Amino acid sequence: MTTSGYAMAAQVRARELGSRLALAAFIGFVGWILAPSIWPAVWIVVVLASQGADWWLCRDLRRAPEQVPSPAYKIACCVMASLNVVVYSGMTGYLWFYGGEEGRIFAMIQAAGGLLHVSLHMHHTRALLLSAVIPHALYFVGLPVATAILERRPAELLITVGGLLYMSHLVVAVRQSSATTSGLQAANAEAREARHKADAASAAKSDFLAVVSHEIRTPMNAVISAANLLRRTRLDAEQREHVMMLIDAGDVLVGLLNDVLDFSKIEAGKMHLEQAPMDVRARLTSLQRLWEPKAEAGGVTLRFDIADDTPDGVVTDALRFQQILFNLLSNALKFTREGEVTVSVAWDAPNAALILAVADTGCGIPEDRLAHIFDSFEQADVGTTRRYGGTGLGLAISRRLAEMMGGDLTVTSVVGQGSTFTVRLPAEAVVMAPAQDKARRVADAGALRGRQVLAADDHAVNRRILSLLLEPHGCVLTLVENGAEAVAICQTQVFDAILMDMQMPVMDGLEASRGIRSSGVNRDTPLIALTANAMDVHRAAWDEVGAQAFLTKPIDPVLLARTLAEACTPAVETDELVQAA
Ligand code: ADP
């Protein structure tokens, strides 16, 4: 421990320069009182000069404490430390010889104090410590010895003995302090190392998740899209049922993948919320439309009760708002065999908060499990996964999201009678201007007829799926296999919209998009990312290259057609990035 020891000593010395100079002024004043002469004043001037030189010499160590000082620099620091002590304690000698009895007592106390001071502040580096301690010790022990010899007063040697005793105690104390400091530094270094390892592990986990997510989404896109295409063909009842099983299982897998990604994002503190006006009733209506068929199929009534005083609009993160309610509704319908599921919405005006309660008449949750269902990977009982599927992540994510939005998510339940999940979301009420909420955006699917669409994707299966999905809408599709081909064709042929994959050989989608945006006849053509890279960083990267929308694989055929139609319809606002994960 030598290198940073010099820097540490330099920093401590800089910090205490003011008090050292103030003390010097006091000592000089005492010297002048006890033995008036010009010397105390001269001493002060010399002290100022030597402290200034020390300050100047140590400036590099203060500026860059991590740099390793050269051997010559270390020697200079040690010489400077000795010089400073010799000068500073010069007054000790003056007081000893010319200050009378009081001067001697003062000199000894000052020498002992100085010794203590440098021992505590310079013990980080042995060479520095010795350079500062030796001159002090010489004053401390040498002055009484010199007097004993010069003035033939052997009794003075007793002071030397006292001084030696004092120094032996000091050595023990300094050793102790040194050991404590070293222990502390070792513990700090260990903590730093552990933190680096944790950061590296977390980065590796994120990379792993990104790769796994991409690799699973790509084949899943083929499976789900093919199943969706198959559903549109002429099938008998049994075949249709099998295709629906494929589609349902695919949807569960996508949900699972999204849950795992969301959960790890929240855990890593990387989930960022948006704040924008949201049309409360429009959002709830779209959720109702989404879940009604499932409720009907299960013989359960789905009701939405919205209190009259609920504001039309609130400022919140609409995507996450929808995600929480989606999870709660999905659970309520999953665990309710008969009866009803009610979504009640109220406005807590004094606290400016939306209160949303999802109540069901389902199986209920045993009291001893209630506290645990919000923990990750927890289900009310072990048979749940077997009977209903699921991972136990939905509620953990929903509660964390509600908390991040400044609210909470609570539950009450009675086994056999049902459960009520209540979300409280503080939000500012706003008046909605027409079309301010993305849920209001509509575009005619017929808008795709005759539209020239360029799609870049390196997988042959994906290209085939795109043509099977889009050509029935009347799109004229141009398919290319990588970014470079997309950039080349964009130089000459005008398109109404461009669908761009992210990872492609030769040139990836982001680079190609930059190329298309920088020159050629498609600089302003709407560009839609259609990718298996579903993480936030990817979304942000697409945002940066000016993509108008970000769609993830597996492709949702309805969403794809709607997004493309919106992109191809100039009348519809085109400046927002459609959040569609
Ligand atoms: P998952 O539904 O994927 O298992 P959740 O975190 O959404 O995960 O739910 C955790 C558990 O809480 C469920 O497995 C279930 O046992 C219980 N649960 C959640 N909602 C309800 C409900 N409405 N009725 C009964 N049990 C529920």
505-527, pLDDT tens digit by residue? 889 889 999 988 888 888 888 99
In a domain, 224, yes or no: yes
CA of 334 to the centre of ligand 1 (A): 9
pLDDT tens digits, one per residue of 163-212: 888 888 888 888 887 788 888 989 999 999 999 998 888 778 777 877 77
Give residue-wise pLDDT tens across range 370-424: 888 888 766 666 555 555 556 678 899 999 999 999 999 999 999 999 999 999 9
Residue 434 has what pLDDT? 61
CATH number, residue 556:
3.40.50.2300
Residue nearest to atom 9 of ligand 1 (CA): 392
- Taking the centre of ligand 1 as the mean of its atom positions, its distance from the CA of residue 119, in whole angstroms, is 65
Give the integer Cα–Cα distance in Å for 251 and 257: 10
Contacts of 166 (CB under 8 A, 6+ apart): 112, 115, 140
On whether the CB atoms of residues 174 and 133 are closer than 8 A, the answer is: no
Do strands 300-306 and 339-348 pair parallel, antiparallel, or not at all (unpaired)? parallel
pLDDT of 561 > 90? The answer is: no
Whose Cα sits closest to atom 7 in ligand 1? 394
Residues 282 and 424 placed together within one structural domain of the fold:
yes
The token pair that represents 384 in the structure block: 């749940």
CB 579 within 8 A of CB 550: yes
In a domain, 310, yes or no: yes
- For 100, 156, 324, the CA distances from 146, given in Å and listed in that order, are 16, 9, 86
Q: DSSP class of residue 117?
A: H
DSSP, collapsed to helix, strand or coil, labels residue 433 as: coil
- Cα of 380 from ligand 1 centre, angstroms: 7
pLDDT in tens, 63-96: 887 888 888 888 998 999 999 999 988 898 899 8
Q: How do strand 353-360 and strand 408-414 relate by DSSP bridges?
A: unpaired
Single-letter amino acid, residue 316 = T
Please tell me the total count of domains within the chain: 4
Torsion of CA 240, 245, 248, 253, to 10 degrees: -140
Enter the DSSP assignment of 267: H
Quick check: is 351 in a domain? Answer: yes
Write down the mean pLDDT value for the chain: 84
Q: Return the pLDDT at 384.
A: 56
Instruction: Tell me the Ramachandran region of residue 450: left when phi exceeds 0, alpha when psi lies from -120 to 50, beta otherwise.
Output: left
Per-residue confidence (pLDDT) for residue 388, from 0 to 100: 58
Among 213, 243, 239, 252, CA closest to 225:
243
Residue 201 lies inside a defined structural domain of this protein: no
Residue 70 per-residue DSSP state: P
Under the banding of pLDDT at 50, 70 and 90, the label for residue 557 is: confident
Name the residue among 481, 567, 486 with its Cα closest to residue 525. Answer: 567
Enumerate the H helices of 273-361 as residue ranges: 280-297, 318-334
On the question of pLDDT at 581 being above 80, the answer is no
Residue 573, in any domain of the structure: yes
Q: Are residues 286 and 423 in the same domain?
A: yes
- 381 and 511 co-located in one domain: no
- 3-class secondary-structure state, position 154: helix
Confidence tier at 459 by pLDDT (50, 70, 90): confident
Residue 195 is assigned to a structural domain of this protein? no
> Are 321 and 427 contacting, i.e. CB atoms less than 8 angstroms apart?
no
For 481, other C-beta atoms within 10 Å of its C-beta total 17
DSSP one-letter string for 492-551: T---SEEEE-SS-SSS-HHHHHHHHHHSSTTTTS-EEEEES--SHHHHHHHHHTT-SEEE
* Pairwise pLDDT comparison (345 vs 6), residue with the higher score: 345
Query: Does an H or E element contain 198, and which?
Result: helix 157-231
Ligand 1 neighbours, Cβ below 6 Å, are: 327, 331-332, 335, 360, 362-363, 365, 373, 379-380, 384, 390-396, 419
Please, which pLDDT band fits residue 45 given cuts at 50, 70 and 90?
very high
Alpha carbon of residue 11 to chain centroid: 32
Same domain flag for 307 and 375: yes
How far, in Å, is the centroid of ligand 1 from the Cα of 384? 8
Same domain (yes/no): 448, 570: yes
Asked if residue 156 lies in contact with residue 148, where contact means CB atoms within 8 angstroms, the answer is: yes
Q: Are strands 339-348 and 353-360 parallel, antiparallel or unpaired?
A: antiparallel
State whether 420 and 443 are in the same domain. Answer: no
- Which numbered atom of ligand 1 lies nearest the CA of 380? 16
Q: Which of 248, 267, 286 is the last residue of a domain?
A: 267
Domain boundary among 222, 240, 267: 267
Q: Supply the CATH number for residue 420's domain.
A: 3.30.565.10
Distance 391 CA to ligand 1 centre (A): 9
**Do 307 and 357 belong together in one domain?**
yes
Whether 127 and 212 map to the same domain: the answer is no
Q: Hey, what are 69's tokens?
A: 């000082």
Looking at the fold, whether 23 and 128 belong to one and the same domain comes out as yes
Q: Tell me: pLDDT of 502 over 80.
A: yes
Q: How far apart are CA 39 and CA 107, in angstroms?
A: 15
Domain hosting 21: range is: 3-152
- Helical (H) or strand (E) element with 76: helix 71-88
pLDDT tens figures, 47-71: 999 999 999 988 888 888 788 888 8
- For the record, the structure tokens of 190 come out as 């260990």
DSSP string, 3-48: HHHHHHHHHHHHHTHHHHHHHHHHHHHHHHHHS-SSHHHHHHHHHH
285 and 249 part of one domain:
no
Nearest CA, atom 21, ligand 1 = 331
Q: Which residues pair with 355 in a beta bridge?
A: 346, 424
Tokens of 268: 């890593």
Q: Are residues 262 and 400 in the same domain?
A: no
Chain centre to alpha carbon of residue 48: 49
The C-alpha atoms of residue 404 and residue 498 are separated, in whole angstroms, by 36
Q: What is the CATH number of the domain that holds 236?
A: 1.10.287.130
Do 282 and 426 have their domain in common?
A: yes
Name the E strands within 225-368.
276-279, 300-306, 313-316, 339-348, 353-360
Express as a percent the part of the chain with pLDDT over 90: 27
pLDDT over 50 at 545, yes or no: yes
Q: Is residue 497 part of a domain?
A: yes
418 beta partners: 414
The atom of ligand 1 lying closest to the CA of 358 is 23
**What's the angle, vertex CA 535, arms to CA 530 and CA 536, rounded to 5?**
105
Q: Which residue CA neighbors atom 3 of ligand 1 most closely? A: 390
Measure the N-to-C terminal CA separation of the chain; round to a whole number of Å: 53
Portion of the chain with pLDDT greater than 70, in percent: 92
Residue 161 covered by a domain = no
Indicate the residue among 249, 267, 285 that finishes a domain.
Answer: 267
